[in-house]
Amino acid sequence: MSFPERVKIVEVGPRDGLQNESVTVPAEIKVQLIEKLADAGLPVIECGAFVSPKWVPQMATSAEVYKRIERRPDVAYPMLVPNLKGLELALEAGVEEIALFAAATETFSQKNTNCSIAESIERFDAVIDEAQAANLKIRGYISCVLGCPYEGKVSFETVSMITQKLFEKGCYEVSLGDTIGVGTAGEARDLVEILTRRAPVERLAAHFHDTYGQALANIHAVMQCGIAVVDSSVAGLGGCPYAKVDGMGIATGVDMDRLLEAGRYISDFLGREPVSRAATALLRKRAG
């Protein structure tokens, strides 16, 4: 096993990192954050989600945010959409790439989308048909691939089946989410080895939460398996593997100084220090 020479970082902080914040983040703050992240050299920045503001009020300004950011030709700005209504709003805003999500367990699927795994995948058909007709790129997410808050252990065969279905339906990439952060390096490696029997590793991404301090070890493990796309969230809002990857001599194209500035910017607004241990250490080093 060997590590990739280059890893693509998909920044999800403006969506996944902020969606559960209790402090309302205004559109102008999100716009500034996204533009600072682009300044740092991030090639993909997930800007928000077209979901019900009743259930996810933090994402209510997603259309405004997307329309206000100064988009760059070398940066992708995907938006999460759960259904046809979300896609309709995305198309109205001029979005060029969307993300869809499924869950790896029946209970989480029912709790999160009020339908079974099979029903959630069937619902994708209409969304994907319209998205492809509009020439949108489509990325897939799978939640709870290494553990579920309701069912505990997850069937890797189920994750493999969902991954294959997402590829068959037109997703160019599938991101594997350890949503509650309970996975270990061995489990992460085993999962990827099973998935790559049916899917090319080049089309898989890692999305590991650091709830129990395992995210970096898990990323290290799956990179050894050939995964070269890693999701992250600035300032530790959802985890931050940049320093680890850079420290291994693997190219990311990310400017750490500018990334730290972006992290400090959103952390100052939220009124707290960055959660990322790497960011905290580097900021302290800067301060002398």
Tell me what percent of the residues of the chain surpass a pLDDT of 70.
91
CA dist., res. 169 & res. 278, Å (int): 38
pLDDT of residue 254: 93
The mean per-residue pLDDT over the stretch 202-209 comes to 96
**143: three-class secondary structure by DSSP:** strand
Would you put residue 232 in left (φ > 0), alpha (ψ -120 to 50) or beta?
beta
- Residue 1 belongs to some domain of the structure: no
Q: Is residue 99 part of a domain?
A: yes
- For the four alpha carbons of 48, 52, 55 and 61, in that order, the dihedral sign comes to positive
Indicate if the pLDDT at residue 244 is higher than 60. Answer: no
The tokens of 25 are what?
């983040």
Could you give the dihedral angle defined by the CA atoms of residues 252, 65, 126 and 176, in that order, rounded to the nearest 10 degrees? 30
Model confidence over 73-96: pLDDT tens digits? Answer: 999 999 999 999 999 999 999 999
pLDDT value at residue 180: 93
Q: Is the pLDDT of residue 242 over 60?
A: no
Q: Which pLDDT belongs to residue 285?
A: 65
- Compute the distance between CA of residue 117 and CA of residue 161 in angstroms, rounded to an integer: 11
| Lowest model confidence (mean pLDDT) among 1-10, 100-109, 224-233, 247-256 | 247-256
Contact yes or no for 120/109 (Cβ under 8 A): yes
Averaged confidence pLDDT in the chain: 91
* Residue numbers of the domain that contains 44: 8-287
**pLDDT at residue 198 greater than cutoff 70:** yes
Residue 116 has pLDDT above 70, yes or no: yes
Q: Which CATH number characterizes residue 75's domain?
A: 3.20.20.70
Question: Residue 280: its pLDDT value, please?
Answer: 61
What pLDDT, in 10s, does the model give residues 161-181? 999 999 999 999 999 999 999
Tell me the one-letter amino acid at 10.
Answer: V
Across 120-129, average pLDDT: 94
Identify whether 248 is part of a domain. yes
Q: Indicate if the pLDDT at residue 279 is higher than 90.
A: no
User: Within 10 Å of residue 174's Cβ, how many Cβ atoms?
Assistant: 27
Lowest mean pLDDT among 45-49, 135-139, 236-240, 249-253: 236-240
pLDDT value at residue 240: 39
Q: Are 280 and 274 in contact (CB under 8 A)?
A: yes
The tokens describing 157, both together, are: 């065969």
- Percent of the chain at pLDDT > 90 equals 78
Give catalytic residue positions: 240
Residue (of 139, 133, 57) closest to 97 by Cα position: 139
- Tell me if 195 is assigned to some domain: yes
More confident call, 280 vs 79: 79
Whether 133 maps to a domain, the answer reads yes
Domain count, the chain: 1
The answer to whether residue 3 is domain-embedded is no
Give the closest residue to 266 by CA, choosing from 82, 58, 76. 58
For the cut 90, the answer to whether the pLDDT of residue 48 exceeds it is: yes
Mean pLDDT of 133-152: 97
Q: Tell me which of 279 and 64 has the higher pLDDT.
A: 64
